A and B are shown apart, each in its own frame.
Chain A
Amino acid sequence: MAPDPRGPGMELLFHLNPYSKKEEAMETAARTHAMLCGGTGCMASGTKQVKAALEEEFRKKGIGDEAKVVLSGCNGFCAKGPVMAVYPDETFYQDIRPGDVAGLVEEHFLKGRPYQKLSFKEHDKKIAIPSIHDIPFFKHQVLVVLKNKGLIDPERIEDYIMMDGYKALSRALTLMKPEEIVKVVADSGLRGRGGAGFPTGKKWELGLKIKSDEKYVVCNGDEGDPGAFMDRSVMESDPHAVIEGMILCGVATESHKGYIYVRAEYPLAVKRLQIAIDQCHEAGLLGSSILGTGFAFDLEIYQGAGAFVCGEATALMRSIEGKRGMPRPKLWRSAVKGLWDRPTILNNVETLANIPQIILNGAGWYRSLGTDESAGTKVFALTGDIANVGLVEVPMDTTLRKIIFDIGGGITKRGRKFKAVQLGGPSGGCIPEEFLDMRVTYEDIKKCGAIVGSGGMVVMDDSTCMVNTSKFFLDFTADESCGKCVPCRIGTKLMYDMLGDICEGRGKAGDIEILEDLSEDIINSSLCGLGQSAPTPVLSTIKYFRHEYEMHINNKWCPTGVCSDLCTFYIDEKLCKGCGACLRACPTTAVSGEKKKPHKINQDLCLHCRTCWESCKFNSIKILPAAARNAGEAEIEYLAGMINEAGKGSEARIM
């Protein structure tokens, strides 16, 4: 008779672990763990259904005790969700649908073969890469903040402790003086990961020096940049790391009360943080005597209502006080007088998640990553027109090219090439191709007119209109300006309106200069970072793509066809094969023509939506200035010929 796998061995495990219930002890003994991603992205693509299907299939196949499904935090590879990593095989699966589960379980879990249908494949290649360590997206990353991503269940404190969690805290509480902790942080060269890059050690030093009856530690989790999701993922996948960082900050600065400011739009992050805080209270990791050492520290979550300006330190603190979130003049640092006029040490989520690692491994180890001025790693949220959208962590001396092309997989859309990368969200700027070999340090990025910011990285291909892009960001900042400073409130609106005029064909000569002038005024006369950085997207695009602005204003021509009022779509008869792709794609039946004969666009019906241009495989649709709409055949042909010659077939390259 076969021995029962739940035999005496299991009782032994249960006996050893007084904290676990019996079922949990059984689970611990599972031979293989399927770490299914439970980040927001994967959850939205159906993680829950996949989990149910997997468990059902394991049970059906009789390996329910051998294989265990664990919901992990964000794995980082958000583009292909739901994703799953299977241990100890270290195999990675992507894009799992409940319908695929039967095949997956049969092949991988029963027969021990990687199920190649769901394996990672490089763009345009059919070869499956089953091992998680061979996939370029994971291979080139260096994990510090995200070291537990996909390896632990964020809702189980035991999992975090297992990965050396709260070890740094134990060491700090028993063996280190506050001055020593501050010194390690200062020596590590860690700088604020929220964007400005202020040395964290300096901030803490000031916080420790100042004496007060009450001091506060605040964690800034108000991540509001469009296209940025680093902080959310850290809070979702490793909430205890943030909490440990905050307690350590409390120990180092002798404060006993902390707030985590998270926006209410991050429900999963709020939920997991709350679970983590409750667990810490139960386990005595928060409260009156942490780990029995007598040090008291308590923590609560404050949910922000989602105003972008509340990511600014002083506005954030006012918001916690229950007032309207508006910045105040920085006559004194928050570390002197912050929340409720008490000394407040405010750090970003990612900064705090770095702290336990630094205490544990030493300042020298952290310094060995990155450059002298910008030590350590940075998490970037890589999005836009690239193959592998997701969360990446790299040392700060990594080049943009490596991040975008090696990790991100490069531009994959047919016929498109890299144009610019937007760094730092609405406060950042666009970096063109010639800077691709630049390292992502605070200094280098600032030099070319952008900022590291919180780490949003939006890659744009050459079908993007830069004027329209800066209009998008201005729309955001004009909307999010709190209204306290007139230059920011009215200036951003004026700039937005001007950009709107330019995009709609009402641009005048001299507009670019007015934009630059206005930008300078807004930067110089705004109180907080929002106003001081709001014009950056405009300034950086003017700096690198001035010709594009000039074309919009002087030629009334948007060469990418994004600004619908400034373009005419025209089919080049010599190149058109008559395949009918544009004819089928056109939403207004403006395209007509017989099969295998050149097609034509009826300009009266055309909406200038660019759908036909995107569908054409032969590059036969040309984007001409708006003036060509009413021009005669001969004129159009002449224009098209000119563009062809100048751009060698690609209108986007003419610029």
Chain B
Amino acid sequence: MVLQRERRPIMARLSIADLQKIRDENKATFTLRKGDHKAKIIVHMGTCGIAAGARSIMTALIHEIALAGREDIVVKTSGCGGLCAREPMAVIELVDQTPVIYGDLNEEKITEIFREHIMGGNPVEKYGLALGGDALF
């Protein structure tokens, strides 16, 4: 049987240190699949959320995470939280801390929250709605 081998970019010969380097570089994927994260952001993506601009919140978050080079943060979506008037909303859960729900977000606000709350560890009180998670699943 003739094997159809996939052509791949040639990889350099590895040393033991290189193996660890590959592990570090793929940390983001590892975190994502193994559930081994330090922070979780849930963006409400119900019809109300999307209409209020949740999509741009999501895009801004992904941009911020890439910019910060953080690999231990996962971003999830959830449905309508039942408080449609205050959308777009997001919940930020740091490991070992009470989740914080933020409402009436826009790109500037979420960027500020990301830098203050996730990077700095201090919840941004002025945008906060409530404490406690509301993940649907």
Contacts and interface: CB of A to CB of B under 8 A. Distances in A.
Interface of A: 2-5, 7-10, 12-13, 16-21, 28-29, 31-33, 35, 65-66, 87-91, 109-114, 130-131, 151, 155, 157-159, 161-164, 166-167, 170, 173-174, 264, 267, 270-271, 274-275, 278-279, 282-285, 291-292, 303
Nearest to B25: A17
B126 interface: no
Contacts of B43: 112
Contacts of B8: 278-279, 282
21 contacts: A2-B56, A9-B65, A13-B66, A19-B9, A28-B29, A29-B28, A66-B58, A87-B32, A109-B77, A111-B79, A112-B42, A112-B78, A112-B79, A162-B26, A173-B16, A267-B1, A271-B3, A278-B5, A279-B8, A279-B11, A291-B14
B4 A2 contact: no
A7 B77 CA distance: 22
Contacts of B75: 31-32
Contact of A8 (B15, B44, B67): B67
A514 to B, nearest CB: 45
Contacts of B46: 111-112
Contacts of B50: 110-111
Contacts of A291: 14-16, 19
A395 B8 CA distance: 38
Contacts of A17: 25
Contacts of A158: 22, 25-26
Interface stretch (B33-41, B94-102, B113-121): B33-41
B114 to A, nearest CB: 12
Nearest to B8: A279
Interface residues of B, number: 57
Contact of A29 (B10, B30, B40, B62): B62
A159 B79 contact: no
B26, B37, B46, B68 — which one has the most chain A CB atoms within 10 A of its CB?
A: B26
A274 B3 CA distance: 8
Nearest to B3: A274
Interface of B: 1, 3-6, 8-16, 19, 22-23, 25-35, 37, 40, 42-47, 50, 56, 58-60, 62-63, 65-69, 74-79, 107, 136-137
B62 A31 contact: yes
B19 A5 contact: no
Contact of A9 (B13, B34, B44, B66): B66
Contacts of A13: 66, 69
A5 B63 contact: yes
Given A3-B63, A162-B26, A33 B32 contact: yes
A2 B56 CA distance: 7
A185 B19 CA distance: 24
A274 B2 CA distance: 12
A291 B66 CA distance: 31
A158 B43 CA distance: 30
Contacts of B68: 9
Contacts of B33: 33, 35, 87-88, 151
- Which 5 A/B pairs are nearest by Cβ-Cβ distance? A9-B66, A112-B77, A284-B13, A162-B26, A88-B74
A114 B137 contact: yes
Nearest to B24: A16
Contacts of A28: 26, 28-29
Nearest to A29: B66
B137 A19 contact: no
Nearest to B69: A12
Nearest to B62: A5
B66 A7 contact: yes
A283 B11 contact: yes
